[in-house]
Amino acid sequence: MTFQPAVWRLSLIVPRHAAEAFAEALESLSGAVIWPMIEDPATAEIRLDAFLADEPDQAAVRAAIEGAAAACAVAPPRPDIVWLPPRDWLDENRRAFEPFTVGRYFVHGSDFAGPLPAGCIPLKVDAGLAFGSGRHESTAGCLKALDGLAHRPIRRVLDMGCGSGILAIAAAHTWPARVLASDVDPAAVRVAAANAQANGVASRVRVVLSDGYAAREIGHRRPYDLIVANILAKPLRHMAPDLARNLRPGGFAVLAGFIVGDAGAVLDAHRQAGLALARHVDVGGWRTLVLRRPRHD
């Protein structure tokens, strides 16, 4: 059995439109922030949970929260900080993971033993310590976007910020492509590689540790026919020129990890880098952008 060591959980209830700003603030403290998939666009507030190995510094927490609140012109939420004892978190996660369908993709955990829906593309994903079970709106939006691009000739794919590897695995099952997946978190790299192996695509999905586009292998494999990046609005804006340099003319980019209200700034940054909007996908207040680099730019 795989046990989760004792951790501290820092929780916030924040306005939905300010969720990304507070998530970035908490990531500066912990590096691991999760929040639930919200189907109802009328939902006004979202709970964010950050997990830390050590007891959080009260002054640092207060400064991060007040900074995000000021940036969004909202009242600072009160943090709820609790210590969680060791538990078999991974086993609990697997037991709670109910299969679901997004487009042609049927997402399920390793414990699923039922029959597969006819004509589906099965994705076996145990998120483990990495983001990306497919239940969050941004991941579901990316899967819908990949489904919409399935008829395109794609031979080389980059999944930037791969988390659990679900999007890299989906790409490998959708096209006979070579897929490079990268993440800045070593735990995510390990989980994504294990998930690729479990899905039978390890021979075509390579997972590397990289801070953005810095890894040498990312540059060696370019240009890419498709780049997928389900991260956050701010890093996506900063990496727009790098994305454009690594995407072949005529290639597509699928970008997610931000609410509808932040999509304009992400789109503007990529338009300045030479990309054009092909379409967008909205899931529960979160937007996925499908962009294309013109063949002659």
Q: Which domains does the chain have, with CATH numbers?
A: 7-87 (3.30.70.120), 91-292 (3.40.50.150)
The per-residue pLDDT for 136 is 81
Residue keyed to tokens 């590096």 = 31
pLDDT in tens, 147-197: 999 999 999 999 999 988 999 999 999 999 999 999 988 888 988 999 999
Distance between alpha carbon 255 and the CA centroid of its chain, in Å? 9
Q: How confident is the model at residue 95 (pLDDT cuts 50, 70, 90)?
A: low
Task: Give the Cα separation of 82 and 62 in Å (integer).
Answer: 16
Beta carbons of 226 and 246 less than 8 angstroms apart: no
56-65, 81-90, 249-258: lowest mean pLDDT where? Answer: 81-90
51-60, 73-82, 193-202, 218-227: lowest mean pLDDT where? Answer: 51-60
Other C-beta atoms closer than 10 Å to the C-beta of 93 total 17
For 256, the 3-state DSSP assignment is strand
The burial of 158, by beta-carbon neighbours within 10 Å (0-12 exposed, 13-18 middle, 19 or more buried), is given as: buried
The burial of 63, by beta-carbon neighbours within 10 Å (0-12 exposed, 13-18 middle, 19 or more buried), is given as: middle
* CA-based nearest residue to 64, from 25, 10, 23: 25
Q: What is the mean pLDDT of the chain?
A: 88
Other C-beta atoms closer than 10 Å to the C-beta of 263 total 20
Task: Give the Cα separation of 22 and 28 in Å (integer).
Answer: 10
pLDDT in tens, 236-289: 999 999 999 999 999 999 999 988 989 999 999 999 999 999 999 999 889 999
Beta carbons of 266 and 289 less than 8 angstroms apart: yes
pTM for this predicted structure: 0.72
For 291, the 3-state DSSP assignment is strand
Q: Where are the beta strands (DSSP E) in the chain?
A: 7-15, 33-34, 45-52, 80-84, 100-102, 105-108, 121-124, 156-160, 178-183, 205-209, 224-230, 247-259, 276-283, 286-292
